[in-house]
Structure 1
């Protein structure tokens, strides 16, 4: 089984990779299954109905408005792709929820509105208090300890108070945007352990995000130390995803990452169906 469980298409505002082109390339590259996980980030991105009423509500990023998935088009498009590419490729329906503790109600509503559609949800922390990591807004005016600890404290609040997710995406994502270099894992071990224990208690998992290679990071995402901690705590639910936004990203480095997981001690990885994990040998 070869699967990529973190795939973005042009339904995400930071990708121009058409869904059917994604699927065709996945078939060409020998993938058995992919999950489409386009972005929804309440608090920093409006929904399309909000944008249509008031275009000024969306930030302009690289010349285009930053808006959440167009839900009315998204789900039918995935269903069409699923039918077109079967049986060569299984296409699963997912999303990447960029959750914040003050936006939980909106994600609850969104999940309930499409309750029968979901296969898989990535829970990611991309911003705190509507301040984003990628542009440095969140880090500005805070010490390295403050912005790192506040990132994990927010993640803990979210996993404790929201249950409609499958895995935590790129758990130590803040490292990628740390202007001072990665904050050592030993400094956050206790709170990361608490997050992982909560995920395990709720029968949730984490992902190994292969984009660490293309971003030239010095460690995996999450780090080998965090993955080892998850393994030692008894964590079993684990997905592997490229965080693809472009053709060159799709499926990248997944075979290598499976070997790295085996070195840590994992023997299985997961795909999902209707929010339930399915285990496969690495």
Structure 2
């Protein structure tokens, strides 16, 4: 059984895939369950695009497809929420109890956008990486309304740097990531394995396998896999390879969610 737990439809400002197109592609690729996880990113720091999800219309459309594909494909109501320290109350109020699954992601840090490069302007490469991790740590210390951290080392995707080093090659980064992982494990939260990472590093998803190994060593068990797809051909990208590598690390289960509660499946 395969599950893709990070998919973006036309309800996200950066995707044009219809929900029907996602479902049909998922079935054709042999998936048994998916989570639609469109963006809601309040106070996103790029004025050229807005990631505010029309929750009522979005959930109504998912419910229609749940009935249409009943018996063929399980479709979970998910969301990718963009967290920042100053909007946590707003995020909490928006999420309520409407979703099966919540990805906590960090697309901005220190009120600056990662994608357009604003965050990197005053830092060298490692200063940027470490300050990003400090932002993630500050949030997970005080916020728990999510299920998994999305693409934990996404900072590697951005910035105009020649190399994209694994974050665990830096001692301070190791300390920060270890603290983040210990907190999420203690709070019964998990990590997402995001296969869009292979677009920047052919050997690793996001987070890297070295970070996933550390998570396993620290006792982490909650693990979802998602393609972060915005186009049909990206759905379930390199899942079988990724799962084989997760087995090598020592993971024996992947996680799905229903009404925010984890379900564990042997791999």
Flag whether TM exceeds 0.5 (same fold): yes
Runs of 5+ consecutive residues of structure 1 not aligned to the other structure: 46-57
Distance in 2 separating the partners of 1:19 and 1:220: 25
1:153-177 deviation digits (Å, cap 9, x = unpaired): 1101111111110000000000111
SS at match of 2:118: coil
Q: Which residue of 1 aligns with 2:24?
A: 24
| 1:136 and 2:124 correspond | no
C-alpha distance 215-182 of structure 1, shift in aligned 2 (>3 A): closer
Contact in 2 for aligned 1:205/1:237 (Cα 8 Å)? yes
Q: Which residue of 2 aligns with 1:124?
A: 105
SS at match of 2:213: helix
Q: After the TM superposition, which residues 200-215 of structure 1 pair with which residues of structure 2 at under 5 Å, given as runs? A: 200-215=185-200
* TM-score between the two structures when normalised by the length of structure 2: 0.94
Q: How many residues align?
A: 263
Q: Which residue of 2 aligns with 1:280?
A: 265
Q: Could you say what the CA RMSD is over the residues aligned between the two structures, in angstroms? A: 1.4
Q: After the TM superposition, which residues 1-282 of structure 1 pair with which residues of structure 2 at under 5 Å, given as runs? A: 1-44=1-44, 59-60=47-48, 65-112=49-96, 115=97, 117-180=98-161, 181-183=163-165, 184-187=167-170, 188-282=173-267
Distance in 1 separating the partners of 2:233 and 2:187: 35
Distance in 2 separating the partners of 1:74 and 1:215: 31
TM superposition shift of 1:255 = 1.3
Distance in 2 separating the partners of 1:217 and 1:30: 23
Runs of 5+ consecutive residues of structure 2 not aligned to the other structure: none
TM superposition shift of 1:5 = 0.4
TM superposition shift of 1:217 = 4.6
TM superposition shift of 1:59 = 2.7
1:35-75 deviation digits (Å, cap 9, x = unpaired): 00000111117xxxxxxxxxxxx833xxxx42311112101
TM superposition shift of 1:216 = 4.2
SS at match of 2:52: coil
SS at match of 2:207: coil
* TM-score between the two structures when normalised by the length of structure 1: 0.90
